[in-house]
Amino acid sequence: MDQLQRRRAAHRDRQLAPGRVATPWLALLAGPLSFGIAAPALLLDDLARATGGGEQAAAAGVTAFGWGIALGTPLLAALLARRGVRAALTVASALVAAGTLILVLIPSVSAMVAGAAVQGLGSAGLTVTAMKLADSARQMGVVAASLAVVGATGPLTGALIADLSSWQAALALPLLAVLAVPATRRGTTAPDAAPAPFDFFGMTILAMLVTAAVLIPHRPLVAGPATVVLLPLLVAWTKVRPDGFLPAAVARNGRFLAACALAFALGAGNFALLYAAPDLLRQHAGWAGTQSGLVLLAPYLIGGICSGFLVAASVRVPRRVAVAVLLLTGAAALLLATVTTAVPLLLAAMTLGSLAAATGQGVLALHAAGVVSGSHRAEALGLFNLAYLLSVAIGPAIAVALSHPTA
């Protein structure tokens, strides 16, 4: 009995230990980011009418949110590494609130783009903080699953809230993450590194590179060459400032870069499928609006929930086997969606795409953080998520361009 009591006391101590946050709070902190990605999926027509622009103009808000989370991830990760959890949460929460206010109060394309970008910056900070505080494969799996599950329910949730209230309320859903901030602040951790002179030039190059990469689907003749020029410039700068905004120990780690590349590929395929899904279901089944959202709930919810278990179990599987399975699953999803018009097979493709992307984000995040030194873990997670989240900006743009080539 004494031994049992000691175990229970030790368990309580671990739960209350400083720096440890309960798993549900981490899920709430990270998950609502996916509302910013998925909630507008069935609302593009409504947004186009409300803002006076076309559907591609409305999709620019999603692209702006993708740009915000892509850029905000390394920016807020650097703040997290240098100033700790409290500073990152404070800045990220303020950005999410400010962006949401802009989206809700000003019904125009320019305001929607600006508000979504600011909201994305803050959402990225909350998510990368949640991943930094996840101290086990199980917690990382829950964080990844929360992003995927919210993404799965996002189109339907956005459509229902727009029907019950307004499209502004649907775009405000990422603000829900702020509810987890008070509990997460109790999990304050010390900065990973002592504050150093900030590398403004490195940050500027990275920001320009992210912007150019996000704009490639929209302005390929300008953004493509800009990306080609900025990428080697950023690599060269890591030699000048190896401890700068982009640490050389992270940027030159081949295993880390491979994990980032695979995460980007899996994410781009999944988000392209997510935004192509309403048109595919309309063409081949005659479904639209809320009905499409209900149908899409199943494949993306299955993929999201299963990913949590798969990420937790991945520590018992050889890394090469896990990577091979992720590659095969992601490729099968795209191939199946391309060659079939049968609705059950389309839904199977979406399930595979969701499963590959959500599981890949968790598994590859653990790998990316594990191949760098502990002092660079926050920056590594930030840069890894940058690679994954770039797919959020590019995937939907590809889907819209393919389905509306002349819009």
Closest among 153, 141, 162 to 316, alpha carbons compared: 141
Considering 1-5, 53-57, 378-382, the range whose residues carry the highest mean pLDDT is 378-382
Condensed to tens digits (0 to 9), the pLDDT of residues 331-363 reads: 999 899 888 888 888 889 989 998 999 899 888
Report d(CA 308, CA 311) in Å as an integer: 5
Please provide the average confidence, as pLDDT, over all residues in the chain: 81
Percent of the chain with pLDDT over 90: 17
Condensed to tens digits (0 to 9), the pLDDT of residues 15-32 reads: 334 457 888 899 999 989
For residue 152, the number of C-alpha atoms closer than 13 Å in the C-beta half-sphere is: 27
**What pLDDT is stored for residue 19 in this prediction?**
54
